């Protein structure tokens, strides 16, 4: 997944399989519940920055879930990998409120430009000492709050994903990366410790079946000039 030498067809196959795993393993629920828990009361429009957009399926889910409850969701998906951005653009072509940019999270200007900043399965790609800076930058860019959806490092989760991918996938990238991602996942104390080091937010951590964390960082007060529900 992090291999810059992966060919476009290999990457497309891998992103399609990640989407399959998200769908099968309840991967959208922490994102959807978390993002919509930050919807300001009465708002009918929500802007979301999706960090590490992958195949664009999280963005599509957000737009569809919003539409079902009368909320127009606008998503900017960013990703460090240009080829991933190109793939996500293709997979969201029928969604006019989803746009993409080739962009590093850490190079974003530290200005609150989105209602909610979301990152699913991105944090575990970072070394430990980059996690507080990553969460801090996400909080700086958010007007209302941040939602992180990531993996629980647990032996049962590791054995489970290893067995599932061994049976369901012939893709060596998925069979190798999926258990590795769980090993790079988090336990509650780590996530809470890092979240508490982020200035100006209130953190809530929830465990979601099976073996996912939903971390919500709510900004203590919206920055001046933020029109609720705008």
Ligand X SMILES: C[S@@+](CC[C@H](N)C(=O)[O-])C[C@H]1O[C@@H](n2cnc3c(N)ncnc32)[C@H](O)[C@@H]1O
Q: State which of residues 104, 110, 172, 197 lies at the interface with ligand X (CB under 6 A).
A: 104
39, 41, 175, 218 from 178: Cα distances, Å: 32, 38, 6, 30
Least distance (Å) between residue 125 CB and ligand X: 5
CB of 62 to ligand X, least distance (A): 11
What is 63-110 written as a DSSP string? HHHHHHTT-EEEEEEEES-HHHHHHHHHHTTT-TTEEEEE--GGGS-S
Q: Which residue has the tokens 């000039």?
A: 225
Cβ closer to ligand X: 78 or 215? 78
- Burial of 106 (C-beta count, 10 Å sphere; 0-12/13-18/19+): exposed
The whole-angstrom distance between residue 33's C-alpha and the CA centroid of its chain comes to 13
**Quick check: 195 binds ligand X (CB under 6 A)?**
no
Number of residues that bind ligand X (CB under 6 A): 19
Find all residues with CB under 8 Å of 184, minimum gap 6, and list them: 124, 125, 151, 153
Residue 140 binds ligand X, judged by CB under 6 A: no
Among 32, 35, 63, 78, binds ligand X (CB under 6 A): 78
Q: Going residue by residue from 40 to 59, which x/- string records binding to ligand X, judged by CB under 6 A?
A: -----------xx-x---x-
Residue among 84 and 165 whose Cβ is closer to ligand X: 84
Q: Which residue, judged by CB position, is nearest to ligand X in the bound state?
A: 54
Position 106 contacts ligand X (CB under 6 A): yes
How far apart CA 160 and CA 144 sit, in angstroms, is 35
Which neighbouring-strand residues pair with 219?
A: 201
Q: CB 130 → ligand X: shortest distance, Å?
A: 8
* C-alpha–C-alpha distance, residues 51 and 174, integer Å: 21
**Is residue 84 a contact point for ligand X (CB under 6 A)?**
yes
- Is residue 151 within 8 Å of residue 183, measured between CB atoms? no
Closest approach of ligand X to the CB of residue 85, in Å: 9
Asked if 81 interacts with ligand X (CB under 6 A), we say: yes
Name the residues that contact ligand X, by CB under 6 A. 1, 18, 22, 51-52, 54, 58, 78-81, 84, 104-106, 120-122, 125
């Amino acid at each position: 997944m992090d291999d810059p030498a992966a060919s476009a067809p290999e990457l497309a196959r891998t992103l399609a399989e990640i989407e399959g795993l998200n769908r099968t393993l309840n991967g959208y629920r922490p994102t959807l519940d978390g993002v919509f828990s930050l919807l300001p009361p009465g708002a009918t429009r929500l802007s979301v920055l999706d960090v590490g957009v992958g195949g664009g399926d999280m963005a599509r889910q957000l737009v569809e879930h919003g539409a079902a409850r009368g909320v127009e969701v606008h998503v900017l998906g960013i990703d460090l990998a240009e080829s991933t951005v190109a793939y996500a653009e293709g997979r969201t072509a029928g969604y006019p409120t989803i746009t993409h940019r080739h962009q590093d999270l850490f190079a974003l200007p530290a200005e609150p430009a989105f209602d909610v900043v979301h990152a699913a399965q991105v944090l575990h790609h970072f070394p430990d000492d980059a996690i507080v800076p990553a969460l801090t930058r996400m909080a700086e860019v958010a007007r209302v709050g941040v939602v992180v959806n990531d993996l629980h490092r647990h032996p049962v989760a590791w054995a489970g994903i290893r067995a599932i991918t061994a049976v369901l996938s012939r893709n060596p990238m998925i069979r190798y990366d999926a258990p590795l991602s769980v090993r790079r996942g988090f336990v509650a104390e780590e996530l809470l410790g890092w979240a508490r080091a982020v200035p100006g937010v209130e953190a809530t951590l929830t465990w979601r079946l099976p073996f996912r964390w939903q971390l919500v960082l709510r900004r203590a007060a919206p920055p001046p000039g933020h029109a609720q529900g705008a």
